[in-house]
Every structure is written in structure tokens, then in C-alpha cells.
């Protein structure tokens, strides 16, 4: 599988990274180099192998249904949450107007 400029443009758009023509052209051989190289994985016989789902055998721990049990992961932090926002207005995050 190799990608052409159009495909790279599509991926860049999907990833929301604006790329000019020149940058797209530069990316094509770089991405193809990497993709061609990773495709050697196709050689590996993975018959009956489950994809890895946990690096260290372990299952998901669940937490209790308690509000603000840990202040670090609780709510009521409007100021902290908005502190670094490029456009915080009236307690909201501002973004360019969206038409749904």
C-alpha cells in the first residue's frame, strides 16, 4: 500500500492539520517510506493470535459513584478549567461560530 498526494491530503484533513502543496509533496515519500517498512508485519503468521489488549495482565478497576471524591478529578473547577483558555467568555469557552 502506498499513499499519493491526494491521500495524504485526505489524512491531513482528517487529522485537522492544514498542509500546503509543498508540505504534502514532501510528506508523500516520507510516509511511504514508513508505510512500506511497517508492511513487513504482513509476513508474520498471526493465525489464532488475539491482538494485545492489556500490556500487563490486568483488568479494569472501577471507582465508586461519589461526586468530587478526589478533588483532582472532581468538578466545581470552572476557574481552573478556564484558566488557560484562549477565549474564555462569561464562563464559557469561546470558539468561532458553528453552524450545525
Site for another protein in 72-91 (CB under 8 A): 72-78, 80-87, 89-91
Q: Is 38 helix (H, G, I), strand (E, B) or coil?
A: helix
Cell numbers placing 36: 512500506
Residue 88, Cβ neighbours under 10 Å: how many?
A: 15
31 by DSSP, 3-state: which?
helix
* 28 binds another protein per the rule CB under 8 A: no
Nearest distance in Å: CB 47, another protein: 9
Contact between 21 and another protein by CB under 8 A: the answer reads no
Residue 22 binding another protein, by CB under 8 A: no
Amino acid at each position: 500500500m502506498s499513499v499519493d498526494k491526494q491521500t495524504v491530503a485526505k489524512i491531513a484533513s482528517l487529522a485537522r492539520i492544514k498542509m500546503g502543496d509543498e508540505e504534502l509533496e514532501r510528506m508523500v515519500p516520507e510516509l511511504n517510506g514508513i508505510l512500506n517498512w511497517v508492511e513487513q508485519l504482513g509476513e508474520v503468521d498471526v493465525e489464532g493470535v488475539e491482538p494485545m489488549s492489556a500490556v500487563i495482565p490486568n483488568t479494569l478497576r472501577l471507582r465508586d459513584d461519589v461526586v468530587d471524591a478526589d478533588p483532582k478529578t472532581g468538578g466545581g473547577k470552572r476557574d481552573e478549567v478556564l484558566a488557560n483558555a484562549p477565549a474564555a467568555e462569561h464562563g464559557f469557552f469561546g470558539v468561532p461560530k458553528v453552524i450545525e
